[in-house]
Amino acid sequence: MTDIVDQATRSRMMSGIRGKNTKPEMLIRKALHARGFRYRLHAPDLPGKPDLVFPRYKAVLFVHGCFWHGHPGCKHFRLPGTRTDFWASKITANCVRDSKQQHLLIEKGWRVLVIWECATRKLQPEYAENVFNLVCGWLKSDTGSAQLDANGLSPLPCSVTESATTLKVLPPNT
């Protein structure tokens, strides 16, 4: 049972295995709190139980692990070479669910920000400053739903169909 996935894959999987209170999430929370932002955590009454909820800004924030949530085109999202079909269908299901929940939130008038884990990987002071500035700027703006990855902010692709189609290009095992 030791070699089902390689070490790198395992650590990617482990880093996303706990959905709440992950290290990147804690860093974001700490930084935003220090800047005076107040929020609710893991709101059970909202679709997808967003990691942070900012009622004042009508905004919710998710911190997503690139592996579990299938960050398209990200170098931290590669399917394992073994049981590829299993992982592909599991992650596709996660993406479709994410997308549906984001849709519901937007319908209810919330703005959604997805912060990909890859955006938080190099949180050295100068880099972190930039990440937190982007997040704070987005919160205070009236910009629509967005995602933040290592390349910065971009509009959130939040069509269920689009997510499902994107995931279909993953290499099948057969």
Query: Interface with Zn ion by CB under 5 A: which range of 48-56, 74-82, 84-92, 124-132?
Result: 74-82
Q: Which is nearer to Zn ion, 29 or 71 (CB)?
A: 71
Q: Does 118 bind Zn ion (CB under 5 A)?
A: yes
Considering the rule CB under 5 A, would residue 116 count as an interface residue with Zn ion?
Answer: yes
Question: Residues 163, 90, 94, CA angle at the centre, nearest 5°?
Answer: 45
Q: Between 52 and 74, name the residue whose CB sits nearer to Zn ion.
A: 74
The site string for Zn ion over 34-73 (x = CB under 5 A, - otherwise) reads --------------------------------x----x--
Quote the tokens at residue 8: 């790198």
Query: What burial class does residue 102 get, using C-beta atoms within 10 Å of its C-beta: 0-12 exposed, 13-18 middle, 19+ buried?
Result: buried
Residues that bind Zn ion in the complex, under the rule CB under 5 A: 66, 71, 74, 76, 116, 118
